[in-house]
Amino acid sequence: MSAAPQGWVRALLHFWFTELAPEQRFARDDTVDRQIRTRFAKHWHAMRGQQPSRFLKDRGTALAAVLLFDQVPRNIFREDARAFATDKLARAITHAAIAGGWLGGLSQAEQQFLLMPLMHSEQIADQRQSLARFTRLGSSYIRSFAVDHYRMVARFGRFPHRNDVLGRRSSPAEKAAIAAGNH
């Protein structure tokens, strides 16, 4: 990672990978959401309109930007369409970081979060790449989530649990999948 990353980069990486326990990164926790909102929402608002190239200076900046545009909005905008508003930007950064060979030198947890926009994508090509990349990480536990995400997009072309918040109509099959706990 960069020797002297920008302040927000250093702060977000430290918060995500040092201050948070691994289970806190995925659990719904109002206290964590509040901390993220207080510390990082201003950066999300300020930078969400930037071009992906702005965040491709080094591994650390790319990783922090992926967290900022993929994970942060999911925490600060629960049950709100804005949770997905910067997914495209996060995916573009992820694709460029992969193409640049930037997965090397990152820990398994860092790689997992750099790759997360692929798992969150409703594009089947991204889902296929997600399966391949998460398989290479070597954790069957992590891979199981990639498989679940892939199956939903392969079956429905999207994540049905997002339909309500995004104003999309759910099919009966999608409603049944959501009722069965597929989200």
- Other CB atoms within 10 Å distance of the CB of residue 99: 9
pLDDT for 2-58, tens place per residue?
Answer: 334 589 999 999 999 999 999 999 989 999 999 999 999 999 999 999 999 999 999
Q: Are residues 25 and 53 in the same domain?
A: yes
Q: Are residues 138 and 116 in the same domain?
A: no
Q: Are residues 56 and 142 in the same domain?
A: no
Q: Are residues 74 and 146 in the same domain?
A: no
CB-count exposure of residue 95 (10 Å: 0-12, 13-18, 19+): middle
User: What percent helix, strand, coil does the chain show, rounded to 5?
Assistant: 70, 0, 30
Q: Are residues 26 and 104 in the same domain?
A: yes
pTM: 0.93
Residue 182 lies in domain: 121-183
Which one of 120, 150, 169 terminates a domain? 120
Q: Are residues 181 and 127 in the same domain?
A: yes
Q: Are residues 56 and 71 in the same domain?
A: yes
